Chain A
Amino acid sequence: MTAGDTLDTDTAVVPTAPVRQPTLGPMGWVRFIWRRLTSMSTALLLLLLLAVAAVPGSVFPQRRVNAGKVDIFLSEHTTSGPLLDRLGFFDVYSSPWFAAIYLLLLVSLIGCVIPRARQHWKAFRARPPLTPRRLDRMPVYMLRPAPDGADAQTLLTTARAALRHRRYRVAADPGAVAAERGYIGEFGNLGFHVALLGILAAVAIGAMFSWAGQVIVVEGQSFADTLPLYDEFRAGTRVNNQDLPPFSFTLDKLSVLFDDQSTGSQFGAPRRFDAYVTVRSSPGATPVKRLVRPNQPLEVDGAGAFLVGNGYAPVITVKDGLGNVVFTGPVAFRPEDGRYTSLGVIKVPDAAPRQLAFSGYLLPTAVMTNQGPVSVFPDDRTPRLVLRAYAGKPGQDGLGMNSGVPQSVYFLDTSKLTQLRKGQDPFILLAPGGSYTLPDGLGTITFDSVKRFAAFDIHNDPSKGWALASALTALGGLMLSLFVRRRRVWIRVRTDGSGRTVVEAAGLARGEDAGLAGEVEHLLGQVVGEHVANGAASAEPVSVKE
């Protein structure tokens, strides 16, 4: 973004008489639009737009982050919801308008980085600019008499050495030296902007080649990295199933600790989630024991498994009306609050003569209140299952499991089911080991035990290293561009009106530079042989202009 921007005409003088505008041809228009787009004020506008456009993504639920919340929002806002949806407010960061802003910014950035890079390369290759005729017009200007008997050549040699010592690039002019330093600052600035492009490129490549999935694993169960075993999977456009590394792991134990010492909001806060796993990098490989916890992922074959959630999976056995065991195993219940009141559904489509289903809560530390049983602590001190039982019509697929339509494992559509109840009991209350016989001889349900489950996010983003390298380059470039001062200094030896030999020095800086005057003074002092500390003892005559 060009510092010496000449296109902002906002403050231009408004002519009183009508002026005939030069007409623009098609190329002229293209050039005009291009200049406008790559001007600093446009870049500024786009930056502000980007900031504003990013905000809705934090206000409205986002599909990429939590699709469930979007559905809830849509069901609660039936009029505004669909409109917002059409405008892309639930996918802000992949919406056309957000893309338009950052793509324009990208073009604007490229359009200003390229000419600037060319310009800077030229300046870098060229010698420092010629010494101006009138040095006293520079922002910093100082003049001192030369020591007695010093000849011009010696003074200029000293000046050159002093400038070189301060890492200036020096060039000789007749009777003067011209010097410049701080080229690296502009390189840093350009590097910063190019690195931003690098980050964007890494993100774009990541969108093609990365994949991520989530899986829930109950203690004692295993997970093999294949597509069908994921509960949720999202892959880049260029990812195919063979790309998944063939690792597998078994969750041996999930050790959890909750705070039961504190009071107030810290009571029941989690303190430790440790997942002990046994990993095989390929089906035939030697198993390795590993510990996975938050901030300590499991890394296999370039992919990472991150422990992102946990909960309870009651082990349940269901016998149907014919006395057959039609369901047995752990069912993951989803924790709904900080006390792990967990919601779950058990679907038993194979039960005969009628299909069976159960929905309700697992309360890890259940306490009876007037409102019914509630959980008061997240650890499983006194776990209880609170369930409603449902049955389908005899011989019908009331659960709709064979219809081919995918169903949520946490949601039970009871429209084609009837609730089973004995007398006034609204729900079934089960403790571990407890059993309940359903009415009408439809079967029994047994709560065998409680296990824990762990939710793992498994990610693979091959471009993340590039993103990191770009980000660090951007940071480094930014620091160079903000902290390195670009300075030009000229030192001339001449004879003044009264025949004295004098040394004059002038300095020019790009942008803010409070230290320039001190630097010029220091250099001048070195030339005329005064060994003064930087900035101390100002010599006569000195003029410093702002």
Chain B
Amino acid sequence: MGVDQTWAHLSNLLIYSAMAVYAIALVAFVVDLSRRGRLGRDGAEASAPPASVPALVGGGSSGSDESGSAPSGSDSTAGSIGDDEAAAAAHRYEAAAHRYRAAGIGMALTWLAFALHVCGIVARGLSVHRPPWGNMYEFAVAGSAVVIAVFLGVGFKRDVRFLGAFVVGPVLLTLGAAVTVWYTEAAQLVPALHSYWLLIHVSVAFIASALFTFSFSTAVLQVVQGQREAAVAAGGEPRGRFMDLLPTSADLERLTYRVIVMAFPLWTFTLVAGAIWAEHAWGRYWGWDPKEVWTFVIWVVYAAYLHARVTRGWDGRRAAFLVFAGFACLLFNFIGVNLLFSGLHTYAS
């Protein structure tokens, strides 16, 4: 019934290939992270007077403070600082070269996997002659591609390679679930989805969800980094040395916020576009269908996040928990609502 099986078969092949390449990319990113940990430690040891380190090793301020010799005890004179600076700069250069190798491989592989992934989606679309996001399998495959696209897109503006493992890992899991649990044979759409709103409403929802996913990753790192910083401030030894070379919790918090500021209007658009489509399809713009309820809940939670950030008494760390709550709702909206509740949005199976 209007389904080209050759393209469908090719699409599956491409998605499997993309998963294989993502898996290798994930290994590269993990290697990169472990190396960051080693470099963080070595970096602290190599540049002996710790007082000079914070300014030099990017984001490594915590690593230097607890690297042994009492920070206040080292009276670094002007002359010794000059020497240390030179040594640390040389070390930093070396460290950077090391770091970039594994992360660079990870990025290159992610690009390759992303290309395969997108080709797989296009092939699926060609096989069924429609936007390839008409069931849960296709949602997951297309949505995870958008997550990668956001990651690669942000990568143009700033160095977010440290996030590689935290983005590629979940995407690989999603794709795994898609091909094993949610796989649906290539087929035409049910009549309820025959609308150009499928293209508008769903694709914008993808982009917003991808940005929310990304912000979740940075918020997790932010909280972990914040705890390590607190441990350092209390004079303790933080765990997870690989975090030493990652941005500070304040920087991660700002990144989280910026990504959510982009995602929130898109989610609002998803909500409004969904209401317009609902009006067009069912005659009412809002009917408290489970999907509508959860889309609304997600919107309210992220609205609360934006308010929390300007509320006194809500620092970045507490606001981050709203990011977690929002992401949990987002996941539930995609998986739980599709599988647990029957509603007008039940197209999955």
Contact surface of A with B, Cβ cutoff 8 Å: 1, 3, 5-6, 8, 10-11, 40-41, 43-44, 47-48, 50-51, 54-55, 57-59, 62, 64-65, 92-93, 203, 212, 259-266, 269-273, 293-295, 297, 304, 306, 308, 457-459, 461, 464, 467-468, 471-472, 474-475, 478-479, 482-483, 511-512, 514
Please determine whether A259 and B1 come into contact, CB atoms closer than 8 angstroms.
yes
Q: How far is the CA of A459 from the CA of B307 in the complex (A)?
A: 37
Knowing that A41-B311, A271-B190, A294-B191 touch, tell me 17 more A-B residue pairs with CB under 8 angstroms.
A1-B307, A5-B310, A40-B310, A44-B311, A51-B329, A54-B297, A57-B293, A64-B287, A260-B1, A266-B185, A272-B191, A293-B191, A295-B192, A295-B195, A297-B283, A464-B285, A475-B269
Q: Which residue of B lies closest to A59 (CB)?
A: B341
In the complex, whether B153 has a CB less than 8 A from a CB of chain A is: no
Please determine whether A64 and B288 come into contact, CB atoms closer than 8 angstroms.
yes
* Chain B residues with CB below 8 A from A511, complex form: 310
* Chain A residues with CB below 8 A from B284, complex form: 212, 459, 461
Please determine whether B281 and A295 come into contact, CB atoms closer than 8 angstroms.
yes
A-B residue pairs, 6 tightest by C-beta: A459-B283, A266-B187, A58-B290, A58-B293, A295-B195, A51-B300
Q: Give the residue of B189, B195, B281, B312 whose beta carbon is less than 8 angstroms from that of A5.
A: B312
* Chain A residues with CB below 8 A from B313, complex form: 8, 10-11, 41
Q: B3, B276, B279: which has the most chain A beta carbons within 10 Å?
A: B279
Please determine whether A270 and B307 come into contact, CB atoms closer than 8 angstroms.
no
Give the number of residues in B that approach A within 8 Å (Cβ atoms): 57
Please determine whether A5 and B283 come into contact, CB atoms closer than 8 angstroms.
no
Q: Give the residue of A10, A265, A512 whose beta carbon is less than 8 angstroms from that of B257.
A: A512
* Chain B residues with CB below 8 A from A40, complex form: 307, 310-312
How many A-B residue pairs have C-beta atoms within 8 angstroms? Tell me. 157
Q: Give the residue of A51, A270, A472 whose beta carbon is less than 8 angstroms from that of B272.
A: A472
Please determine whether B300 and A265 come into contact, CB atoms closer than 8 angstroms.
no
Known contacts A8-B311, A55-B297, A482-B264: does B191 contact A468 (CB below 8 Å)? no
Q: Give the residue of B197, B293, B312 whose beta carbon is less than 8 angstroms from that of A54.
A: B293
Q: How far is the CA of A335 from the CA of B337 in the complex (A)?
A: 23
Mostly helix, strand, loop or mixed at chain A's interface?
A: mixed
Mostly helix, strand, loop or mixed at chain B's interface?
A: helix
Interface string of B289-327 (1 = CB under 8 A from A): 110011011001101100110111110000000000000
In the complex, whether B17 has a CB less than 8 A from a CB of chain A is: no
Please determine whether B287 and A262 come into contact, CB atoms closer than 8 angstroms.
no
Shortest CB-to-CB span from A372 to chain B, Å, is 26
Q: How far is the CA of A93 from the CA of B337 in the complex (A)?
A: 18
* Chain A residues with CB below 8 A from B312, complex form: 5-6, 8, 11, 40-41
Q: Which residue of B lies closest to A461 (CB)?
A: B284
* Chain B residues with CB below 8 A from A57, complex form: 288, 293
Known contacts A51-B297, A264-B184, A271-B191: does B287 contact A308 (CB below 8 Å)? no
Known contacts A51-B301, A306-B283: does B261 contact A262 (CB below 8 Å)? no
Q: How far is the CA of A478 from the CA of B208 in the complex (A)?
A: 15
Q: A40, A295, A458: which has the most chain B beta carbons within 10 Å?
A: A295
Please determine whether A271 and B287 come into contact, CB atoms closer than 8 angstroms.
no
* Chain A residues with CB below 8 A from B191, complex form: 270-273, 293-295
Q: How far is the CA of A266 from the CA of B347 in the complex (A)?
A: 11
Please determine whether A308 and B282 come into contact, CB atoms closer than 8 angstroms.
yes
Please determine whether B341 and A58 come into contact, CB atoms closer than 8 angstroms.
yes
Shortest CB-to-CB span from A346 to chain B, Å, is 29
Shortest CB-to-CB span from B61 to chain A, Å, is 14
In the complex, whether B268 has a CB less than 8 A from a CB of chain A is: yes
Please determine whether A44 and B307 come into contact, CB atoms closer than 8 angstroms.
yes
Please determine whether B294 and A58 come into contact, CB atoms closer than 8 angstroms.
yes
- 27 pairs, A vs B, C-beta closer than 8 Å: A3-B310, A5-B312, A8-B312, A11-B313, A47-B300, A48-B300, A54-B300, A58-B337, A65-B287, A259-B187, A266-B185, A269-B187, A271-B189, A294-B194, A295-B191, A295-B195, A295-B197, A295-B277, A308-B282, A457-B282, A459-B283, A461-B284, A461-B285, A467-B275, A472-B272, A475-B269, A514-B254
Q: How far is the CA of A459 from the CA of B282 in the complex (A)?
A: 9
Known contacts A295-B195, A464-B279, A464-B285: does B188 contact A471 (CB below 8 Å)? no
Known contacts A8-B311, A47-B307: does B265 contact A478 (CB below 8 Å)? yes
Interface string of B241-259 (1 = CB under 8 A from A): 0000000000000100110
Shortest CB-to-CB span from B66 to chain A, Å, is 24
Q: B289, B300, B301: which has the most chain A beta carbons within 10 Å?
A: B300
* Chain A residues with CB below 8 A from B3, complex form: 261-262
Please determine whether A306 and B281 come into contact, CB atoms closer than 8 angstroms.
yes
Shortest CB-to-CB span from A462 to chain B, Å, is 13
